[in-house]
């Protein structure tokens, strides 16, 4: 990080958004210029399949306050955020998506709240402008994540956040290979506030954040930040053992004191199949945790920068 500090850094993640970049930069400049002249805009291009990088280059050539980072391959949203945060030099760092559903004009609300003494200020999306299916998936995703990580996750909050420099540096100290910034915010602590904003319609195209990507993010986050799945498998194993003992005692009692006889191999085969499935599932959960540990100990970089501008 450079020794020089600007007042505000705006970090925006760009992926398949070549038709939005010009408008995004224009609106950010218009909104932030009313607050201060001491700012930078960092556009992180996550190696998308379109001409977004060309648009970023054009905007960097027009205005020295605009900086471009192109990653060597697609590392995913959370690692792209990390690349932008690592490159930022602002006293206050604001992260936002590039689709303009997070409106640059709302940056003022986040910044004013931060200057009241809050180190983390998140934007809560009022009247979320997404389809019913996406809202339902979001509700399921955050409910499951909250339960398995034993934290409170807010589905109205996404990537539109204002961080104080000390928070950015604290999150940089966390070396987890898999990152999820709503969880990192809770992990590092600091004063936290929430501000309601108006959520806008998507300017162009549709979200590339598919159900499968959300599912993978949820799995990575749960395995990184919680051991509750392991504890649940232990409880389930104890419960099955208890039920098996109860069933065995019942069969013995029926055999001794009644005419009921346990005959046939079908029930035995079903029990073997059931318990074999349980054992394999438990081993699978343990294997996932071992795999995440293996990824962490290799200490590979979470992103690699291909090109930078300004």
* pLDDT higher at 110 or 202: 110
132-149 and 228-257 helices cross at what angle (nearest 10)?
A: 80
- With a cut of 80, say whether residue 271 has pLDDT above it: no
* pLDDT higher at 187 or 4: 187
Q: What is the DSSP letter of 104?
A: G
Which pLDDT band, with edges at 50, 70 and 90, does 253 fall under?
confident
- With a cut of 50, say whether residue 190 has pLDDT above it: yes
* Cβ partners under 8 Å of residue 218, min gap 6: 141, 144, 145
The CATH number of 6-132+153-206, from 3.40.50.261, 3.90.550.10, 3.40.50.2300, 3.30.43.10, is 3.90.550.10
- Residue-level pLDDT at 43: 92
- With a cut of 50, say whether residue 218 has pLDDT above it: yes
Strand partners, 45: 14, 70
Provide mean pLDDT across the span 149-167. Answer: 78
* pLDDT higher at 177 or 80: 80
Retrieve residue 60's tokens. Answer: 């960097």
165 and 185 in contact (C-beta within 8 Å)?
Answer: no
User: Using a CB cutoff of 8 Å and minimum separation of 24, what contacts does 280-286 make?
Assistant: 281/233, 282/233, 282/237, 285/229, 285/230, 285/233, 286/230
Provide mean pLDDT across the span 127-139. Answer: 65
48 and 15 in contact (C-beta within 8 Å)?
Answer: yes
In the chain, the N- to C-terminal Cα span, in Å, equals 14
Side by side, the strands of the sheet bearing 66-71 are 192-198, 120-126, 157-164, 90-97, 6-14, 39-45, 66-71, 305-309
191 and 120 in contact (C-beta within 8 Å)?
Answer: yes
**For the chain, how many residues are written?**
310
- With a cut of 50, say whether residue 2 has pLDDT above it: no
Provide mean pLDDT across the span 175-202. Answer: 77
Provide mean pLDDT across the span 218-224. Answer: 68
Reference 208, options 23, 50, 54, 86; nearest CA is 50
Question: What phi, psi does 118 have (nearest 5°)?
Answer: -95, 130
Alpha carbons within 13 angstroms on the beta-carbon side of residue 181 total 26
Strand partners, 42: 11, 67
- With a cut of 60, say whether residue 232 has pLDDT above it: yes
126 and 196 in contact (C-beta within 8 Å)?
Answer: yes
Q: Strand locations in the chain, DSSP E?
A: 6-14, 39-45, 66-71, 90-97, 120-126, 157-164, 192-198, 305-309
Which pLDDT band, with edges at 50, 70 and 90, does 185 fall under?
confident
211-225 and 132-149 helices cross at what angle (nearest 10)?
A: 10
- With a cut of 50, say whether residue 139 has pLDDT above it: yes
305 and 70 in contact (C-beta within 8 Å)?
Answer: yes
């Amino acid at each position: 990080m450079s020794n020089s500090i600007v007042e505000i850094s705006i970090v925006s993640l760009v992926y398949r958004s070549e038709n939005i970049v010009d408008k995004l930069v224009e609106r950010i400049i218009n909104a932030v210029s009313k607050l201060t002249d001491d700012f930078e805009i960092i556009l992180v291009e996550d190696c998308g399949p379109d001409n977004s990088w060309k648009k970023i280059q054009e905007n960097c050539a027009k205005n020295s306050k605009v900086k471009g980072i192109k990653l060597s391959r697609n590392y995913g949203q959370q690692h792209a955020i990390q690349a932008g945060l690592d490159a930022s030099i602002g006293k206050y760092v604001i992260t936002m998506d590039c689709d303009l559903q997070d409106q640059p004009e709302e940056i003022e609300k986040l910044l004013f709240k931060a200057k009241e003494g809050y180190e983390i200020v998140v934007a809560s999306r009022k009247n979320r402008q997404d389809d019913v299916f996406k809202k339902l998936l979001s509700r399921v995703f955050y409910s499951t994540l909250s339960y398995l990580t034993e934290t409170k996750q807010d589905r109205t909050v996404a990537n539109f956040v204002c961080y104080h420099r000390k928070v950015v540096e604290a999150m940089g100290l966390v070396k987890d290979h898999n990152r999820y910034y709503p969880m990192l915010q809770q992990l590092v602590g600091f004063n936290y506030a929430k501000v309601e904003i108006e959520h806008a319609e998507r300017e162009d195209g549709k979200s590339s954040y598919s159900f499968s990507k959300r599912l993978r993010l949820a799995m990575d986050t749960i395995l990184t930040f919680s051991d509750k799945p392991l504890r649940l498998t232990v409880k389930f194993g104890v419960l099955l053992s208890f039920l098996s003992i109860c069933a065995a005692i019942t069969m013995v009692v029926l055999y001794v004191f009644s005419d009921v006889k346990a005959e046939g191999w079908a029930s035995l085969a079903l029990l073997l199949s059931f318990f074999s499935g349980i054992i394999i599932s438990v081993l699978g959960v343990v294997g996932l945790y071992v795999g995440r540990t293996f990824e962490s100990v290799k200490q590979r970089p979470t992103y690699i920068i291909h090109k930078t501008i300004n």
